[in-house]
Structure 1
Amino acid sequence: MNDSLSFGGASAPIFAAHPGYRRMFAPDALTLGIFLPLRFYQGDMQVLAGQSELVSAIDRYGFAAVWVRDVPLFDPSFGDAGQVFDPFTYLAFLAAKTKTIALATGSAIFSLRHPIELAKASATIDQLSGGRLVLGIASGDRPVEFPAYGLEHGKRGERFAQSAAYFRQLLQQGRPVIDSPLGRIDGADFLPKPANGAIPLIVTGSSGQSLPWIAEHADGWLTYPGPTHTRQGPQRLAEKIQAWRAMIPDGGFRPHMSNEWLDLVEDADYPRTPMHGGYVLRTGRKGLIDLLEQWQEAGVNHAALGVQFSQRPVAQVLQELAEEVLPHFPSHPGPAPAAVSW
């Protein structure tokens, strides 16, 4: 496959004109995104009230992306219902509330949903947003969801790979001819096609695949960062990224992403301190900037930050991130989203 973003190359790469991808990713640089929800659901939907207005502010501040979760069923043992809303329906709503920010899933569960439904929702949002959709995809980590769909949890890796291949074939120009364990198509067309010819597929974790498979088939890789309060974590992350990039068949650029849940305190000098068993990082902005610089040096191209655990008001945290952290890691200029007249 020839999905690499190669600046100044002889041939136009597949994502060179993709507004969402280009806003988020460039070699040797890191941008910032915000993970939703901004506050966790804890039994009352009112906790999400006003979130879309804050997403509009995130867009105006100039962040590269806003991320939504895909959590079909709430498993109390996980303690996290995501943003509660269906991710595709919600992204369509947010597309109308924003202008330039990339709309990203982190991550759409490709092993649970049929690829036709995934492709239909994704291409629709891509068109409605003028080409801003970046699709993080995963095989699913909540065993309770699989029997509810009539699927085997143990076969999710195989189904994930089949679904990703089927999805890509659907979005190609011309009538697709598909013969897959997930279905057959011959003589029917798929509409709509993406606004810019393709939708980036960012694989999350291993998704039941080998590292060579991810290097060959993914348009990017999202992994958890490991420890974030010492330099050893970013160093190990760098080794992982280097091993993956060494396997990319054409040697072209593929972006790497990571994420962290923050409790950003007012004291700018507060040291990076792991909380909740290392799941959350409590820090001041100087510690956060230092971490992000280490990630950038390690080869990370985008950092998705979750502020759900921050004890301060969300609007205050977002403003500090925008004013004090974002200038160090600005979003990339690139093609403007297509004019939307639907």
Structure 2
Amino acid sequence: MRFGILTPIVVQQPTEAAPWEAMAGVTELSRIAAAADQLGYHHLTCSEHVIIPAATAATRGSTYWDPLATLGFLAGRTRQIRLATNVLVLGYHHPLAIAKSYGTLDQLSGGRVVLGVGVGSLEEEFDLLEAPFADRGPRADDAIRALRAAWAQAIPEYAGTYYRFSGLVVDPHGVQRHLPIWVGGRTRRSLRRACEHGDGWKPFGLTLAQIADMLRTVDRPSGFDVVLQPRNLDPLGDPTGTRSNVERAFEAGATIINARFVHHGPDHLIEQLAALTTLFPDAGWTRPTFEQVTEEQP
């Protein structure tokens, strides 16, 4: 049992974001990330959208911080929490561009990158970036294979359906020998893609019953993660309901929780982060050692 956090402030969807997030910035973000790191949370997240059509901003939200810049900033303010894209749209990037940019982040963070990826669904964004939309699914499959071949390689080689490269130097590159890749989506194809090419599945827009039913239809590889996000975790105000929500997610197949909390400000959120570790003391919290903490002191 492991817990990460859906990072506040960096994504503000109308039905999810708390009012204080619209007025918050780097100071609050840094405090929350540092607290999650010190408490032993598995990961924090940042999503990707370049643009949102104004006509859909009321439902999708319009605030999406850039994940590479944001996670790079947070890498310098944390010690061991993993840095997860949630999710990176594969069609917007060449696999070598991902290997270079997120490989650099992997170097800077000491091997803490988790790459959450997806095929994307916002056609206007594909059009803006002049990225093919109709065949984005098979392109994504090939992109993951290409990324696997390129990751942590100074001179990668790959020959696939959509991507081919050889005789090129990528430096710096990732330091993890195996990059954890979580595939996002809400379809059976996304789950199959995750099982075939990834290390985990990060579904959205599905009920727990639907997720459990879909998981029963596949043979999951050893060590395969299922990352779920039960809503309205309130360990301070409703510990019983919080425990029930988390336990139902694990019964549905979760191995990692993307925690989204009830919170009324940064201080309250940090208190909620601490309260959840008390509510689930036997979870896989990874706390810094005394030596790591003292190394951070000036």
Report the TM range for the smaller structure's normalisation: 0.7 to 0.9
**Residue 127 of structure 1: how far off its partner (Å):** 1.1
The equivalent residue for 2:18 is none
The equivalent residue for 1:259 is 229
**Residue 261 of structure 1: how far off its partner (Å):** 4.3
Which of 313, 316, 324 is residue 268 of structure 2 equivalent to? 316
**Residue 327 of structure 1: how far off its partner (Å):** 4.4
Which of 12, 31, 43 is residue 40 of structure 1 equivalent to? 12
Determine the C-alpha separation between the residues in 1 that align with 2:239 and 2:287. Answer: 28
Determine the C-alpha separation between the residues in 2 that align with 1:311 and 1:196. Answer: 34
**Residue 302 of structure 1: how far off its partner (Å):** 0.8
2:141, 2:193 within 8 Å by CA — same for their partners in 1?
A: no
The equivalent residue for 1:239 is 213
Change (3 A) 1:195 1:326: farther
- Secondary structure of the 2:12 match is coil
Q: Aligned runs of 1:213-292 on 2, under 5 Å?
A: 213-224=193-204, 226-227=206-207, 233=208, 235-244=209-218, 246=219, 248=220, 251-262=221-232, 264=234, 268=237, 284-292=238-246
1:123, 1:193 within 8 Å by CA — same for their partners in 2?
A: yes
The equivalent residue for 1:84 is 64
**Residue 198 of structure 1: how far off its partner (Å):** 2.2
Relative to the length of structure 1, the TM-score reads: 0.72
Q: Aligned runs of 1:120-135 on 2, under 5 Å?
A: 120-135=100-115
Q: Deviations over 1:270-293 (max 9, x none)?
A: xxxxxxxxxxxxxx3321211111
Q: Aligned runs of 1:86-125 on 2, under 5 Å?
A: 86-125=66-105
**Residue 152 of structure 1: how far off its partner (Å):** 3.3
**Residue 210 of structure 1: how far off its partner (Å):** 5.8
* Structure 1 stretch displaced more, 112-121 or 208-217: 208-217
Change (3 A) 1:125 1:74: same
Q: Aligned runs of 1:83-232 on 2, under 5 Å?
A: 84-171=64-151, 173=153, 175-205=155-185, 209=189, 211-224=191-204, 226-227=206-207
The equivalent residue for 1:69 is 47
The equivalent residue for 1:295 is 249
1:285, 1:325 within 8 Å by CA — same for their partners in 2?
A: no
**Residue 172 of structure 1: how far off its partner (Å):** 5.3
- For 1:58, the aligned partner's letter is A
The equivalent residue for 1:60 is 38
Q: Deviations over 1:12-51 (max 9, x none)?
A: xxxxxxxxxxxxxxxxxx2111112347389x97433421
1:156, 1:208 within 8 Å by CA — same for their partners in 2?
A: no
Determine the C-alpha separation between the residues in 2 that align with 1:324 and 1:45. Answer: 25
**Greater share of helix:** 2
Uncovered stretches (5+) of structure 1, i.e. residues with no partner: 1-29, 228-232, 269-283
Determine the C-alpha separation between the residues in 1 that align with 2:143 and 2:6. Answer: 25
1:34, 1:305 within 8 Å by CA — same for their partners in 2?
A: yes
Change (3 A) 1:181 1:241: closer
2:99, 2:147 within 8 Å by CA — same for their partners in 1?
A: yes
Higher RCO structure (Cα 8 Å, ≥6 apart): 1
Determine the C-alpha separation between the residues in 1 that align with 2:225 and 2:70. Answer: 25
**Residue 256 of structure 1: how far off its partner (Å):** 0.7
2:40, 2:286 within 8 Å by CA — same for their partners in 1?
A: no
- Identity across matched positions, percent: 23
**Residue 195 of structure 1: how far off its partner (Å):** 1.6
Determine the C-alpha separation between the residues in 1 that align with 2:210 and 2:13. Answer: 33
Uncovered stretches (5+) of structure 2, i.e. residues with no partner: 15-20
- For 1:188, the aligned partner's letter is L
The equivalent residue for 1:18 is none
2:76, 2:109 within 8 Å by CA — same for their partners in 1?
A: yes
Relative to the length of structure 2, the TM-score reads: 0.81
2:118, 2:185 within 8 Å by CA — same for their partners in 1?
A: yes
Change (3 A) 1:205 1:64: same
Determine the C-alpha separation between the residues in 1 that align with 2:235 and 2:156. Answer: 52
